[in-house]
Each structure stands twice: as structure tokens, then as C-alpha cells.
Amino acid sequence: MSPMTNDTGCLTVVYGNISNRTPNDHQYGSKATPSGLSWLTRISIALDVARTLSYLHLHMTSDVMHRDIKPSNILIDQKMHVKLSNFGLSKLHPNNEEYTPLMTYIKGTQGYPDPEYFQTHRLTGRTDVYSFCVVVLELIVGMKSLEIITGWRRFEGEDEDEEREPTQCTRS
């Protein structure tokens, strides 16, 4: 990855060739195989993303909140190493002891943002962690997040469009 400026003076990030695309391509798209990604590869992808988020949240002078962690923003190089992409929605938050969540408009892709973020409009590191956990669930199950939610609702015998209270989310 190397930053460059173009004729307009805009900063641009240029990635090298990412030949293996994204986890989605391997699970559902052009590189999909009947068995999908091996378990070892899935675990490796999850660990690489976890390390990247740890670095962004804990080891920089300002915390970087990505706000759009999802499989299509995870690029895989020739050696199956992960590159996190699409920082267009990201926010910086100064590192300090008195951590105050950022108030913000809700951004992100349906099926991945943290429910607390939807309710409070407060952005914290937990927002990215929640999205990461959804990605890990997708890697394990081999289904997209919205397919998992729809499948669970069908299993429960519910109308897929029906809204329900959080207290009604347990089986009796």
C-alpha cells in the first residue's frame, strides 16, 4: 500500500495486486468452490482481521473506527494475507483515559452494524468488534449475515418481516 497524490492534490491510497479478492468471492462468487475456504484459511482470515482491528483501536495515536467491517472490505493477497479496505466511513477518535463515544449518523452495511450503535448513535470500538463477530459467524457458517437472520426466523416459524421486542427473542 502506498499513498499518492494526483493532479488535483487529493490523497489516494494505491494497493498492490490483490489476486485472491475477498472472502465473499471464495464463498459465493467467482472463486467459489463447493467446499468454500478451508477451515485453516477461514481462521487465518479471522485472526488477520482481529490483529488489524487491534492495531487500529489500540496502537495508533488516535483510535480508527472503521464502521464498515464486512467480507467485501477484506482483501486477500497472493499469500492469503488480509488487507482491510474501504476506510471511507471511518472516524478518528483521540486516545485518552476518559473515553467518550462519538455521536454520529449511522453508517455501515445492513446486517453488520452493532444494534447499540443503531439505538444510541454512539460510535465506540465495540461497533467494529460487533461487525467483526458477524464476519466470523459468516466465515464459520458459510452464509451471508442476512441469510443467517432470515434462516433463524424461518426456524422459529416467524414471518420474516415481523418486528418483535428484544425480550421476545428467546425460545420457550
Enumerate the active-site residues: 68
**What stretch of H or E contains 86?**
none
Q: Length of the chain in residues, anyone?
A: 172
Neighbour tally for 25: CB within 10 Å: 16
User: Helices (DSSP H) in 10-167: which residue ranges?
Assistant: 23-27, 39-58, 115-120, 125-141, 145-155
List Cα–Cα distances, 128 to 48, 61, 62, 93, 165, in angstroms: 14, 18, 15, 13, 24
> What is the rounded radius of gyration, in angstroms, for the C-alpha atoms of the chain?
18
